[in-house]
Structure 1
Amino acid sequence: MKVMWINELNSLLGERKVIVKETTLNRLSKDYYWYSPVLFEALKEKVADCAVAPDTVDELKTVVSFAVKHKIPLTARGAGTGNYGQAIPLHGGIIIDLTKLNQMIEVSETSVKAQAGTKLGILEKELRRQGKELRIFPSTYATATVGGFLCGGSGGIGSIRWGGLWDGNVLGVTVMTIEEKPKLLTIKGEEIQNYIHNYGTTGIVTEAILPIELKQEWGQYIAYFPSFKEAVSFSDKLARDDSIIKRLISVCEWPIPKHFQPLKKYIRDGKSIVMLEVEEEAAGKLKRLAAEFSGDIGFEIPASSYQKGLKLSDFTWNHATLWAHKHGENLTYLQARFTSELIFQQMDRIREAFGYEVQFHFEYIKSKGEVIPSSLPIIQYRSKKRLYEIINFFESIGVAINNPHTYLLGFGGYNLRMEEIMKIKEENDPYHLLNKGKIPLPNKI
């Protein structure tokens, strides 16, 4: 019985460390899954039986060993800023809150080693104090953790320069196996690929090594354009101009910017915008480039105020979805990749088919060195059936979809090496207790 094993866990760890309070347990059992109306209906009732927040790796081992002994499902979580239900327990069990494993262990000239629960915002702040900076981080970096980003994320601010997590942006991870005598595995090289964006299904990441770079002086800018196509044309040319060092190119068509309440006095009605982080000394080049496409830089935050107070990154990536969700009605999103040379034809066909039921939002990134117009379009949600009609239409015209409306690993469209992940799952978690149900293995879940 559940109560019996919770009592035993209390005896093992002390009652203070076993969380059963309903409000806290509900919070720790959820992430930002509610971005998706589909996931909201599927996951809103899911909750763990209890949660623990280990202070040390040895205490984490104790919890894992106990769970394996009693065959209790485990779900590891960081800050819960993921959007696909990655950190939601499907079968109850124990939530392991890793946010107390939050030490920055070592900084070298080219890398930083940190525990999984370390907040990326704290890491970035400390690195910048030392004249360094992270390569990439999500728009939720103020609260997102190292382990959560690696296991549930893909890219973000910095991806226009350095690519995503798969592009050499994780140098090593330490992973705990889910066995009665847990082992710590050191993963490096090509094998790291099997631990990125896998929802933490193949082991608990306890530490990671991330590449770092010399600190840049980033100015933040909003460029305004009469039409979205001019904004996209400007962004595409900027993305390919290696003489301008940039960290962020985020493009939103009107009416998406009207939802950005803290930017309200800087938003121009009817204008599409590009939000930018660009090396400050390139500001002149940036303004001349914007003018080529009938745009102008109408708002600036100097590098001296970077990551202090108002931050444009708080309105980019899925933060744009968050603002739309807060201040719009029945809005959700998709994750898409347009074809650079066909982008305007693809946009025209979508607009012709769906009007402003689909509103365009692009984040320019690099993937394997190639510039990609990655997209997080805002969708007016009418029904699950209609949502999948839109998804099918996107795919029919060559727009790739990473579907954020499923919690099943490998079903969202990411190019994951599922055969290797399933093999590692068998080795590291032989009883299939970790994030149970997220990998659809026959007869195992």
Structure 2
Amino acid sequence: MNRLFGELIALLGDDRVVLELASREQLSKDFYWYSPILTELLDGKTADVIVYPLNEEEVKRVLSLAVQHEVPVTVRGAGTGNYGQIVPLQGGVLVDVSRMNRILDIGEGYVRVEPGVKISTLEKTLREQRQELCIIPSTYAKSTAAGFVSGGSGGIGSISWGLLWDGNVIEATIITAEAEPRVIRSRGDDLLNYIHSYGTTGVITEVIYRAVPRVEWAQCIASFADLEDSLRFSETLAQDESIPKRSVSTCEWPIPSYFRPLKKVIQDQKHVVILEVDEASLELLQPLLERYNGTITHAIPAANYMKGQGLAEYTWNHTTLWALKADESMTYLQGSFSLDRYMEQIGLIKAKFPDEFYNHFDWMRSGGELIPQQIPLVRFTTKERLYEMIDFCESIGVKIFNPHTYLLEEGGWEAHIQRVIRTKNQNDPKGLLNPGKIGLPLKAPSV
């Protein structure tokens, strides 16, 4: 390993090769601590060295050295993932791409960027040019372009534009882990081998995102005395194509009580729907609010969009973060409910776990289909009780994407895992890219 350290320093210089323990420990973590199960499994896992490449050629040379020495490689963007995606289970080299942060090209309907560009910087730049990204994560302030592709799936905007693989990533440039790394330009269906694959199939050095015309988004909180009213309002709004929207997030009480910075605008015992809608269409909300007994109790005009903390930072898995800040016993699940029976499913869950399961829906589309997507808050007592909740949800038709595992195939990617394994075998023949994140056999058994 010392020989590898020397070669990395010769390649990148002392200032871009980090061996100091405290830095290695800090950069080897993401937000896996949302899960008490992952905390137990991943605490203490640390890279042996951190490197900071500045361009694609340096990435290729780092990978070539790692392959020659048969040392694992894990790639880090900003570390905003929740499942230990960037935690190096077997040590090795952690490649931090945060200094590869240039916006390379903007055209009508697309933007081409290096992997370490922050989503917030990218969105701000696009909006200045009258465009915007189709979807952004709730962690957009810190998350990076390639980090979102490698570890994410959906986010703010998914209510209208779907998930990353619904055409929202146009192309990704991939570097393989071989003695002589190859450059692959992945487009179309082939992107499923790289999106949300935790960097197990290659290292992303460029991303082309789809962009769409900018909308003036107003942010609102709608309050409801009845949970079903809040959900029916959300469903109706989600289906109404006459009202452009970027976010529809429904939170059952007491979840809103965890949003401490919003304390002055949150009404006691009220369920809320956090909205981003076209400011020009706000008046179209009123009939829906009246129909479902709701009231707008807080609003932020479009002129203040992305200036300071926005309401989007209380949606998706940011909701879990606020809950954990208020109550350390909370954790979360992820699940897709059935549009035709989600109210029934909610009723069954609440009857069985009345004080342990709190509903939080981020409505979205996948392949054009509207889905009541949940990131519910659950009160953690034991691992056994948590898996009892998971088993019950699945027994009533709720598809759970388990956030308490770092294994790709156990977290909801099982439908694509065999093609990911085939790609990994082609691009990473020695199995050095983020090893341990796929639990299934990577090589076909010999006959």
Task: Report the TM range for the smaller structure's normalisation.
Answer: over 0.9
Please name the residue that 2:293 is paired with: 294
Contact 2:167–2:188 (8 Å) recurs in 1: no
Structure 2, unpaired ranges of 5+: none
1:46-105 CA distance string (max 9 Å, x none): 000010011121111121111011000000110010000000000000100011111111
AA of the residue aligned to 2:282: A
**Partner in structure 2 of residue 248 of structure 1:** 247
Cα displacement (A) at 1:357: 0.3
Q: Counterpart of 2:435? A: 436
1:371 matched residue in structure 2: 370
| Alignment partner, residue 224 of structure 2 | 225
Q: Which amino acid aligns with 1:390?
A: M
Show the counterpart of 2:188.
189
CA shift for structure 1 position 442: 3.1
1:43 aligns with 2:42: yes
Distance in 2 between residues matched to 1:188 and 1:367, nearest whole Å: 19
- Secondary structure class of the residue paired with 1:223: strand
Partner in structure 2 of residue 202 of structure 1: 201
Q: Residue 43 of structure 1: CA displacement?
A: 0.2
Offset of residue 443 of structure 1: 7.3
Task: Return closer, same or farther for 1:12/1:210 CA change in 2, 3 Å cut-off.
Answer: closer
Partner SS, residue 167 of structure 2: coil
Aligned to 1:281: 280
Aligned-partner residue type, residue 135 of structure 2: I
Structure 2 residue aligned with 1:80:
79
Q: Secondary structure, in 3 states, of the residue corresponding to 1:307?
A: coil
The one-letter code of the counterpart of 1:327 is: A
Task: Give the secondary structure class of the aligned counterpart of 2:94.
Answer: strand
Return the alpha-carbon distance in structure 2 between the equivalents of residues 344 and 194 of structure 1. Answer: 35
Query: By how many angstroms is 1:344 displaced?
Result: 1.2
Residue 8 of structure 1: how far off its partner (Å): 3.6
CA offset at residue 439 of structure 1?
Answer: 1.3
Residue of structure 2 equivalent to 1:165: 164
Q: 2:117 corresponds to which residue?
A: 118
- The separation in 2 between residues aligned to 1:107 and 1:70, in whole angstroms, is 39
Alpha-carbon distance between aligned partners in 2 of 1:158 and 1:173, rounded to the nearest angstrom: 20
**Is there any run of 5+ residues in structure 1 with no aligned partner, and where?**
none
Of 255-264 and 408-417, the range deviating more from structure 2: 408-417
Amino acid at match of 2:203: I
Q: 2:387 aligns to what?
A: 388
Distance 1:407 1:336 in 2: 17
Per the TM alignment, residue 168 of structure 1 is displaced from its structure 2 partner at its CA by 1.1
What is the identity, as a one-letter code, of the residue corresponding to 2:335? A
Tell me, yes or no, if the aligned pair for 2:12 and 2:53 is still in contact at 8 Å: no
Distance in 1, Cα, partners of 2:105 & 2:23: 33
Q: Which runs of 4+ in 1 moved over 6 A?
A: none
**SS of structure 1 residue aligned to 2:384:** helix
Question: More deviation in 284-293 or 159-168?
Answer: 284-293
Structure 2: how far apart are the matches of 1:372 and 1:218? Answer: 22
Greater Cα shift, 251-260 or 408-417:
408-417
* 1:145 counterpart letter in structure 2: T
Deviation at 1:196, TM superposition (A): 0.8
Deviation at 1:12?
3.6
Q: 1:259 aligns to what?
A: 258
Q: Which residue of 1 aligns with 2:420?
A: 421
**Contact (CA 8 Å) 2:338, 2:372: kept in 1 or not?**
yes
Q: Secondary structure at the match of 2:58?
A: helix
What residue number does 1:344 align with?
343
The question of whether the paired residues in 1 share the 8 Å contact of 2:4 and 2:65 is answered with no
CA distance in 1, matches of 2:236, 2:107: 35
In the alignment, residue 91 of structure 1 is paired with which amino acid? Answer: Q
Match of 1:99 in 2: 98
What is the one-letter code of the residue matched to 1:119? K
> What's the counterpart of residue 23 of structure 1?
22
1:369-397 alpha-carbon deviations (Å, 9 max, x no partner): 11100000001000111100000000000
8 Å Cα contact 2:34-2:321 kept in structure 1: yes
Please report how far the alpha carbon of residue 3 of structure 1 lies from its aligned counterpart in structure 2 after TM superposition. Answer: 3.3
- TM-score, normalized by length of structure 1? 0.98
* CA deviation vs aligned residue, 1:176-215 (integer Å, no higher than 9, x gap): 0101111111111211121110101000011011110110
* Structure 1 range deviating more: 421-430 or 283-292: 283-292
SS in 1 for 2:275: strand
CA distance in 2, matches of 1:313, 1:406: 26
The percent identity for this pair of structures is 48
Contact 2:425 2:442 (C-alpha < 8 Å) held by counterparts: no
Give the aligned length. Answer: 443
Contact 2:30-2:81 within 8 A present in 1 as well: yes
- Contact 2:408–2:414, Cα closer than 8 Å, also in 1: no
1:144 matched to which residue of 2?
A: 143
Whole-angstrom distance in 2 between the partners of 1:255 and 1:356: 10
SS of residue paired to 1:112: strand
After TM superposition, give the deviation of residue 329 of structure 1 in Å.
3.0
- Quick check: 2:25–2:44 contact (8 Å CA) kept in 1? no
User: What RMSD in Å do the two structures reach over aligned CA positions?
Assistant: 1.1
Q: Distance in 2 between matches of 1:327 and 1:421?
A: 38
Q: What SS does structure 2 have at the residue aligned with 1:341?
A: coil
Q: Find the residue that maps to 2:288 and give its secondary structure.
A: helix
Structure 2 Cα separation of the partners of residues 78 and 307 of structure 1:
22
Residue 288 of structure 1 and its aligned partner are, at CA, apart by 2.2
TM-score norm. by structure 2 comes to 0.97
Superimposed CA distance per residue, residues 119-156 of structure 1 (whole angstroms, 9 cap, x where no aligned partner): 11000000000000000010001110110100100000
Q: What amino acid is aligned across from residue 313 of structure 2 in structure 1?
A: D
Deviation at 1:413, TM superposition (A): 2.1
Alignment partner, residue 405 of structure 1: 404
